[in-house]
């Protein structure tokens, strides 16, 4: 079985969009919703670097850029579960 990073990114982005739509319908202290958002965020933060690492044109010089873009993505996703 192969793992498609692009497909995973698409699916998680769909789920994060669904989370945004649900946010107004659940209470602020809903632990299940908060856990779901955290799970999505934690899983998604690994996907952009995996996508970059799977690119055939990757060079060693690319690695610092991959790390910094991953941190920026994780920071922006933190606001989803807040």
Looking at residue 66, its pLDDT comes to: 56
Q: Show the beta-strand stretches assigned E in the chain.
A: none
How far apart (Å, rounded) are the C-alpha atoms in residues 6 and 27? Answer: 32
pTM more than 0.85: no
Q: Which residues contact 51 (CB under 8 A, 6 or more apart)?
A: 5, 6, 9
- The domain locations on the chain are 5-78
According to the model, what pLDDT value does residue 32 have?
A: 94
* Residues 45 and 21: beta-carbon distance below 8 Å: no
- Tell me the mean pLDDT per 10 residues along the chain, length 82: 83 93 92 93 89 68 58 58 51
- pLDDT on residue 52: 78
């Amino acid at each position: 079985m192969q793992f498609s990073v692009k497909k995973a990114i698409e699916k998680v982005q769909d789920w994060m969009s669904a989370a945004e739509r649900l946010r107004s319908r659940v209470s602020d202290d809903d632990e299940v919703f908060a856990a779901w958002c955290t799970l999505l965020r934690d899983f998604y933060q690994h996907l952009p670097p995996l996508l970059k690492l799977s690119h055939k044109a990757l060079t060693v010089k690319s690695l610092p850029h991959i790390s910094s873009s991953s941190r920026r993505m994780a920071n922006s996703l933190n606001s989803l579960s807040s």
